[in-house]
Structure 1
Amino acid sequence: MVPINLLSWSLCIVPILLMLIFMIIFQWGVSKAAPITLVITALISIFFFKASGKLLIDEFLRAGWNSIGIILVILTAILSYEISYEARAFDTLNQLFKKIAPNELIRIILIGVVFASFLQGITGFGVPVLITAPLLLEIGVAPLWAVIIPLLGHSWAGTFGTLGLGWNSLLIQTGIQDHALIFHSALYASFFLLLLTIYSSYTIAYFYGGWKAVKKGFIAIAIISSIQGIGQIIFSTINPQLAAFIPSAISLGALILLSKTSLYRDEWRMENSKIMLQIKTEKIKKERGLTTHQALMPYYIVTIISLTILLIPFIATYLGSFSYGPRFTETSTGYGFINKSIEHYAPITPFTHPSMFLLVTSVLTYCYYRKKKIIQMKKFKPILLRAITKSLSPSIAIFALLSISRLMAGTGQTEVLAQGIANVLKDYYVLVAPFVGLLGSFITGSNMSSNILFGDFQLHVSEFIGLKTSAILGGQTAGGGVGTSIAPGNIILGTTTAGILGSEGRVLIKIIPLTLIIVSLFGLLLYLDYFFFF
Structure 2
Amino acid sequence: MTWVQNYNPLGSMVTSGLVAAIPLFIILYMLGIKRAKGHVAAAFGLLSALLVSVFVYGMPAGLAVGSILNGAAYGIFPIIWIVVTAIWVYNMTVESGEFEIIKSSLAAITDDRRLQALFIAFAFGSFIEGTAGFGTPVAITAAMLVGLGFNPVYAAGICLIANTAPVAFGAIGIPVVVAAQVTNLDLMHVSQVVGRQLPFLSVFVPLWLVVTMSGWKGAMEVLPAVIVAGVCFAGTQFYTANYVNAYLPDITSAIVTIVGLLLFLKVWKPAKAWHFPDEEPSQGVVKCPYSTGQILRAWAPYLILAALVFLWADDKFVGLKNILVNIDKDLFILWPGLHNLVIKTTPVVPQDAAYAAKYSFNLLSAAGTAILFSGLISLAVIPNYGLSKAISCFFKTVKQLKWPILTIAMILGLAYIMNYSGMSSTMGLAFTATGSLFPFFSPILGWLGVFLTGSDTSANALFCGMQKTAAEQVGVDPYLTVAANSSGGVCGKMISPQSISVATAATGLVGEEGTIFRFTLGHSIAMVLLMACLTYAQAYWLSWMLP
Q: Fold-level match, TM-score > 0.5? A: yes
Which residue of 1 is the match for residue 498 of structure 2?
A: 489
Which residue of 2 is the match for residue 89 of structure 1?
A: 98
Q: Residue by residue, what CA displacement relative to the aligned partner does 1:307-326 show, whole Å, maximum 9, x if unpaired?
A: 34424344332222132443
Which residue of 1 is the match for residue 234 of structure 2?
A: 229
What is the SS of the residue equivalent to 2:504? helix
Q: Distance in 2 between matches of 1:188 and 1:346?
A: 32
Please say if residues 147 and 494 of structure 1, whose CA atoms lie closer than 8 Å, have aligned partners that are also in contact: yes
Pair 1:292 & 2:295 matched: yes
Q: 1:411 to 1:488 in 2, by over 3 A?
A: same
Pair 1:380 & 2:390 matched: yes
Please, which of 234, 249, 253 is the counterpart of residue 255 of structure 2? 249
Please, which of 193, 196, 203 is the counterpart of residue 198 of structure 1? 203
Which residue of 1 is the match for residue 23 of structure 2?
A: 15
What is the SS of the residue equivalent to 2:36? coil
Q: 1:83 to 1:414 in 2, by over 3 A?
A: same
Q: 1:36 to 1:244 in 2, by over 3 A?
A: same
Which residue of 2 is the match for residue 269 of structure 1?
A: 273
Q: Distance in 2 between matches of 1:381 and 1:74?
A: 16
What is the SS of the residue equivalent to 1:128? helix
Pair 1:211 & 2:211 matched: no
Pair 1:508 & 2:517 matched: yes
Q: Distance in 1 between matches of 2:453 and 2:74?
A: 10
Which residue of 1 is the match for residue 3 of structure 2?
A: none
CA positional deviation for 1:145? 0.3
Q: Distance in 1 between matches of 2:288 and 2:391?
A: 26
Which ranges in structure 1 are unaligned for 5 or more consecutive residues?
none
Which ranges in structure 2 are unaligned for 5 or more consecutive residues?
1-5
What is the SS of the residue equivalent to 1:155? coil
Which residue of 2 is the match for residue 525 of structure 1?
A: 534
Q: 1:385 to 1:12 in 2, by over 3 A?
A: same
Tell me whether 283-292 or 353-362 shows the greater mean CA deviation. Answer: 283-292
What letter matches 2:295 in structure 1?
Answer: T
Q: 1:57 to 1:104 in 2, by over 3 A?
A: closer
What is the SS of the residue equivalent to 1:432? helix
Please, which of 132, 135, 138 is the counterpart of residue 129 of structure 1? 138
Q: 1:489 to 1:242 in 2, by over 3 A?
A: same
Q: Distance in 2 between matches of 1:124 and 1:469?
A: 26
What letter matches 2:522 in structure 1?
Answer: P
Please say if residues 23 and 504 of structure 1, whose CA atoms lie closer than 8 Å, have aligned partners that are also in contact: yes
CA positional deviation for 1:14? 0.7
Q: Distance in 2 between matches of 1:417 and 1:27?
A: 26
Please, which of 306, 310, 323 is the counterpart of residue 307 of structure 1? 310
Tell me whether 41-50 or 67-76 shows the greater mean CA deviation. Answer: 67-76
Q: Distance in 2 between matches of 1:347 and 1:465?
A: 38
Tell me whether 328-337 or 433-442 shows the greater mean CA deviation. Answer: 328-337
Please say if residues 190 and 483 of structure 2, whose CA atoms lie closer than 8 Å, have aligned partners that are also in contact: yes
Which residue of 1 is the match for residue 405 of structure 2?
A: 395
Q: Distance in 1 between matches of 2:147 and 2:171?
A: 26
The alignment's TM-score, normalised by the length of structure 2, stands at 0.89
What letter matches 2:211 in structure 1?
Answer: Y
CA positional deviation for 1:11? 0.9
Q: Distance in 2 between matches of 1:382 and 1:481?
A: 36
What letter matches 1:507 in structure 2?
Answer: I
Q: 1:287 to 1:502 in 2, by over 3 A?
A: farther
CA positional deviation for 1:292? 0.8
Which residue of 1 is the match for residue 54 of structure 2?
A: 46
What is the SS of the residue equivalent to 2:467? helix
Pair 1:185 & 2:187 matched: no
Map 1:43-122 onto structure 2 (within 5 A): 43-67=51-75, 68-122=77-131
Tell me whether 210-219 or 32-41 shows the greater mean CA deviation. Answer: 210-219
What letter matches 1:530 in structure 2?
Answer: A
What is the SS of the residue equivalent to 1:350? coil
What is the SS of the residue equivalent to 2:134? coil
Q: Distance in 2 between matches of 1:348 and 1:382?
A: 25
CA positional deviation for 1:284? 12
Pair 1:351 & 2:355 matched: no
CA positional deviation for 1:379? 2.4
Q: Distance in 2 between matches of 1:315 and 1:270?
A: 43
Q: Residue by residue, what CA displacement relative to the aligned partner does 1:475-508 show, whole Å, maximum 9, x if unpaired?
A: 1101111221222212211211211111111111
Q: 1:417 to 1:281 in 2, by over 3 A?
A: farther
CA positional deviation for 1:441? 0.8
The alignment's TM-score, normalised by the length of structure 1, stands at 0.91
Q: Residue by residue, what CA displacement relative to the aligned partner does 1:192-239 show, whole Å, maximum 9, x if unpaired?
A: 221222222111111232222222222222222122112112212322
Which residue of 2 is the match for residue 170 of structure 1?
A: 179
Q: Distance in 2 between matches of 1:255 and 1:135?
A: 19
**Identity of paired residues, percent?**
19
Q: Distance in 2 between matches of 1:13 and 1:23?
A: 16
Please, which of 153, 156, 165 is the counterpart of residue 156 of structure 1? 165
What letter matches 2:7 in structure 1?
Answer: V
Q: 1:435 to 1:346 in 2, by over 3 A?
A: farther
CA positional deviation for 1:246? 1.4
CA positional deviation for 1:128? 1.3
Pair 1:363 & 2:370 matched: no
What is the SS of the residue equivalent to 1:27? coil
What letter matches 2:101 in structure 1?
Answer: T
Aligned length: 522
